[in-house]
Amino acid sequence: MSAITSYVALGDSFTEGLNDHLDGDRYRGWADRLAETLAAREPGFRYANLAVRGRLIGQIVSEQVPQAEALAPGLVSLCAGGNDILRPGSDPDAVAAQLDGAVARLRATGARVLLFTGFDIRQVPVMRLVHHKVAVYNLHIHDIAARNGCTLVDLWAMNVLRDRRAWSEDRLHLSADGHRRIALRAAEVLGLPAAEDWREPYPPLDPAVWAEARREDLRWARSFLVPWINRRLQGRSSGDGVDPKRPELAPVAKDVA
């Protein structure tokens, strides 16, 4: 693998790093963790993260892709379209067409592009209703990656992410350990030596803990799912008024959660 001396991350909450908490309102996330790995190998490495929670693919294409083109990094990661796919009435084919156009623009800059499929979310209540749409979108992503010479992280195939401990309390965003495992997987597909094995299974879960989690389904729906649905019905986003956390290419200092 040729040296990667600069990296720009594009996307939504997944790439912003929710819910891999640092202090205050700051999040780390898989992209920051990957950048730390790259920085440890390349003196002078620089990193920007333009991802903002709640962004739809049209917003990512119009707001973030032009910034990435201007920054002209060696590596761009792009995970987009998930928020669109989860919306009622959305068309995976139309979302994929926007992703395809964005990838072509990024590849035209000479950047290596890292793409991601969607998660297998059938184990999450309500989300399983859009399971088939995610599957269709993933087929498009595989095709886009192959046609454009992109590197692909297949999140759907990461069985370890089906464990509830890979997810945070809201069941919509990864836990810190989920982000850690994806950073390891992304490093692996980029050809970097693995410091740890992302496949390492979680220890067996105490049946009492699992039973308690099932009793918490109603509380989860009330605290997280209903507000999420209401925002979409009202045309609002959790990212309204939120700016990218790393808008310019800059050196990386390792954050410790």
pLDDT per residue as tens digits for the range 136-155: 999 999 999 999 999 999 99
The answer, yes or no, to whether residue 118 has pLDDT greater than 60, is: yes
**With bands split at pLDDT 50, 70 and 90, how would you rate the model's confidence at 233?**
low
Region 238-245: mean pLDDT is 80
Strand partners, 79: 11
What is the set of domains in the chain, with CATH numbers?
6-201 (3.40.50.1110)
Tokens at 127, concatenated: 């989300």
Residues near 136 by beta carbon (within 8 Å), at least 6 away in sequence: 92, 93
Alpha-carbon gap, residue 48 to 84, rounded angstroms: 24
- Residue 257 pLDDT level (bands cut at 50, 70, 90): very low
| Rounded Cα–Cα distance for residues 36 and 30 (Å) | 10
Backbone φ and ψ for 204, nearest 5 degrees, come out as -55, 140
Among the residue ranges 59-63, 105-109, 221-225, the one predicted with the least confidence is: 221-225
Does the pTM of the predicted model rise above 0.85?
yes
Percentage of the chain surpassing pLDDT 70?
A: 82
3-state DSSP call for residue 86?
coil
Who wins on pLDDT, 167 or 217? Answer: 167
Whole-number average pLDDT of the chain: 88
pLDDT tens-digit map of 158-207: 999 999 899 988 878 999 999 999 999 999 999 999 889 999 999 997 76
CA gap 90, 70 in Å, rounded = 30
Pick from 83-87, 146-150, 214-218: least confident: 214-218
Q: What pLDDT sits at residue 5?
A: 98
The pLDDT value recorded for residue 256 is 44
For residue 167, the 8-state DSSP code is: B
